[in-house]
Amino acid sequence: MKVISNEIRNFVNFQKLGYVATVSSDNTPNLSPKGTIIAIDESHLVFADIRSPQTIENLKQNSSIEINVVDSIRRKGFRFKGTGKIISEGEQFKGILEQYKKNGIKSKINSIVIVLVETLYEVTSPSYDLGVTEDELVSKWKKYYQ
């Protein structure tokens, strides 16, 4: 299933923070920030288990997952829904570890979660509905963060 275009892949790989939602054993949501989300092809996202014991435990019980990656300045992004698989050995694991090393990740990676993206949705700020332009939002949020 090819749902991740090159444009979306570049967007995800440029952003430095996303959020991963899993389902806890008591059927409540578990939301965790991740700084290692990468789109590796047209169908898969990955992230590293550096300090994610609850996320990993949840995925062992229920593979359902949602990842949100949003540009906080442009107020645009994507929601990715799918299923997660945990890997901690093999050629695919080694290849993804090498990618993280090239990206400058120095922390110990315990495992990697590979997410088969089944659906994705664009996320935009309601400000766009009011006619605010992207340039106006960028200017507003850059001023805010300065």
pLDDT in tens, the chain (146 residues): 689 999 999 999 999 999 999 999 999 999 999 999 999 999 999 999 999 999 999 999 999 999 999 999 999 999 999 999 999 999 999 999 999 999 999 999 999 999 999 999 999 999 999 999 999 999 999 999 99
Residue 1's pLDDT is 67
DSSP string, 58-116: HHHH--EEEEEEEETTTTEEEEEEEEEEEE-SSHHHHHHHHHHHHTT--SPP-EEEEEE
Of 65, 66, 36, which Cα lies nearest the Cα of 49? Answer: 36
Q: Which residues pair with 91 in a beta bridge?
A: none
Domain that holds residue 88: 6-145
Number of domains in the chain: 1
Lateral strand order in the sheet of 29-34? 29-34, 18-23, 64-71, 76-87, 111-124, 44-49, 38-39
Task: State the chain's mean pLDDT as an integer.
Answer: 96
Return the structure tokens found at 124. Answer: 């935009």
- How many CA atoms does the CB half-sphere of 106 hold within 13 Å? 0
* 51 domain residue, yes or no: yes
Place of tokens 């990676």: 109
Q: For residues 65, 38, 79 and 108, what is the CA-based torsion angle, rounded to 10 degrees?
A: 50
Return the structure tokens found at 23. Answer: 């389902």
Q: For 54-86, write each residue's pLDDT tens digit.
A: 999 999 999 999 999 999 999 999 999 999 999
- What CATH number is attached to the domain comprising 31? 2.30.110.10
* 1 domain residue, yes or no: no
Residue 2's pLDDT is 80
Give this prediction's pTM: 0.94
* 40 domain residue, yes or no: yes
